[in-house]
């Protein structure tokens, strides 16, 4: 399939990037990759599961804070292992999503715009909460979060330098990207598409809609939590902005511009938007956000499948018999 070829080409280009780009851009792209992973988490729950979560930063920020708390030894000073931090930063948001999702989806549940508003409100509330939680740094957040330590069996290898950090993050992102691709093409992906298409019908074929929604919501939260955790180890800093309103809407824009129903497009949406932001803001100053807004509107109105997904799909159209135009 042509699709795989495009994917390989893109990740090969990303792998080769540090050969051409200097340390500065390698560092920047490390962030972009993490944002890309975050975008994948939203693509999974929104594009595939049909659940529009407008507060995806809830899970990104929770992951970030949990990672900081563990690796800074704020609860157990002797247990600052990075792997433990990642584990907590993945399971914590997943459990939070299960609890939240149970309230949101049980019974008749809420969906569509109502769900979007409720999740957005939760993000705003959490941002306020973290701003006033002084034990966790309050408005200033937590500083000096140690970098990722990927050592094993007592050996320690901390990711201080740009190059190894970039490749470790890339390896994580590629692995998860492939895993998500397998997942969405599996029988679970089939059920997700059906859930997005016709949720009410699914129950009459024996599927527990609540269970499926909880699973996809929690999986997405786990991914978002992991991206938040990776982010704070690279940045060394966690603050309430990581959990709140603006990051939640930003990731939504990346995914919408890229294309929410296509993992690769959502991922590239994050990378390209963040990359463009760098040089476009230098060229146009504050007008940059206007350009971003216009691009978002163009994608919603003109190309609802996404500015990146539409050409990508044209490029990689699978050869499957299509009906003649009626």
Partner 1 sequence: MMPFLQITDLDKTFGGLRAVDDFHMSLDAGSLTAIVGPNGCGKSTLFNLITGALTPDRGTILFKGRDITGLPPHKIARLGIGRKFQVPAVFGELSVRENLALPAMKGRITSIRNDTNNARTTAILDQVLLTDKADWKAEHLSHGEKQWLEIGMLLAQAPELILLDEPTAGMTAAETAATAALIRQINQTGGITVLVIEHDIRFIEQLECPLLVMAKGQILKSGNFQSIRQDEQVQELYFGRTEAPHA
Give yes or no for residue 102 binding partner 1 (CB under 8 A): no
Find the binder of partner 1 among 196, 275, 305, 313 (CB under 8 A).
196
Give yes or no for residue 209 binding partner 1 (CB under 8 A): yes
36: buried, middle or exposed (CB in 10 Å: 19+, 13-18, 0-12)?
buried
Give me the least distance between CB of 66 and partner 1, in Å please.
29
Going by the DSSP 8-state scheme, the letter that residue 240 receives in this structure is: G
Give me the least distance between CB of 112 and partner 1, in Å please.
18
Residue among 83, 64, 236 at smallest CA distance from 172: 83
Give me the least distance between CB of 323 and partner 1, in Å please.
4
Give me the least distance between CB of 203 and partner 1, in Å please.
4
Give yes or no for residue 188 binding partner 1 (CB under 8 A): yes
Task: Please state, in angstroms and rounded to a whole number, the distance separating the CA atoms of residues 111 and 300.
Answer: 20
Determine the interface stretch with partner 1 among 66-74, 178-186, 278-286, 293-301 (rule: CB under 8 A): 178-186
Give yes or no for residue 186 binding partner 1 (CB under 8 A): yes
Determine the interface stretch with partner 1 among 115-123, 193-201, 249-257, 292-300 (rule: CB under 8 A): 193-201
* Distance (Å) of CA 315 to CA 10, 242, 319: 14, 35, 12
Find the binder of partner 1 among 22, 154, 206, 285 (CB under 8 A).
206
Rg of the Cα atoms in the chain? 20
Question: What are the beta bridge partners of residue 142?
Answer: 238
Give yes or no for residue 15 binding partner 1 (CB under 8 A): no
* Distance (Å) of CA 225 to CA 41, 136, 157, 202, 304: 9, 17, 23, 29, 28
Sign of CA dihedral 223, 225, 226, 232: positive
Six-digit token pair at 159? 């990711």
CB atoms within 10 A of CB 6: 14
Give me the least distance between CB of 326 and partner 1, in Å please.
8
Give yes or no for residue 197 binding partner 1 (CB under 8 A): yes
* Site residues (vs partner 1, CB under 8 A): 182-183, 185-191, 193-194, 196-198, 200-201, 203-209, 320-323
């Amino acid at each position: 399939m042509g699709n795989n070829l495009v994917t390989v080409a893109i990740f090969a280009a990303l792998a080769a990037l540090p050969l051409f780009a200097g340390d500065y851009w390698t560092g920047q792209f490390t962030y972009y990759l993490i944002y890309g992973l975050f975008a994948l988490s939203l693509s999974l729950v929104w594009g595939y599961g049909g659940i529009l979560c407008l507060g995806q930063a809830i899970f990104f920020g929770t992951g970030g804070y949990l990672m900081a708390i563990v690796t800074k030894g704020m609860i157990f000073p002797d247990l600052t292992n990075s792997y433990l931090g990642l584990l907590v930063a993945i399971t914590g948001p997943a459990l939070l999503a299960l609890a939240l999702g149970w309230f949101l989806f049980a019974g008749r549940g809420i969906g569509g715009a109502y769900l979007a508003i409720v999740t957005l409100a939760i993000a705003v509330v959490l941002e306020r909460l973290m701003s006033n939680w002084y034990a966790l740094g309050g408005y200033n957040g937590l500083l000096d979060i140690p970098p990722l330590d990927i050592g094993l069996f007592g050996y320690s290898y901390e990711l201080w330098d740009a190059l190894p950090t970039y490749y470790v993050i890339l390896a994580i992102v590629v692995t998860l990207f492939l895993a998500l691709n397998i997942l969405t093409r599996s029988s679970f992906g089939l059920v997700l598409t059906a859930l997005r298409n016709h949720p009410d019908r699914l129950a009459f074929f024996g599927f527990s809609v609540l269970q499926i929604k909880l699973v996809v919501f929690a999986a997405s939260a786990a991914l978002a939590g992991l991206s938040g955790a990776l982010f704070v180890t690279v940045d060394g800093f966690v603050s309430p902005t990581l959990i709140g309103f603006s990051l939640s809407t930003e990731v939504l824009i990346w995914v919408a511009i890229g294309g929410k129903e296509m993992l690769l497009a959502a991922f590239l949406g994050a990378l390209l938007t963040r990359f463009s932001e760098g040089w476009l803001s230098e060229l146009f100053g504050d007008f940059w956000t206007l350009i971003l807004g216009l691009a978002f509107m163009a994608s919603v109105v003109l190309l609802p499948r996404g500015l990146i997904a539409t050409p990508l799909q044209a490029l990689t159209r699978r050869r499957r018999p299509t009906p003649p135009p009626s």
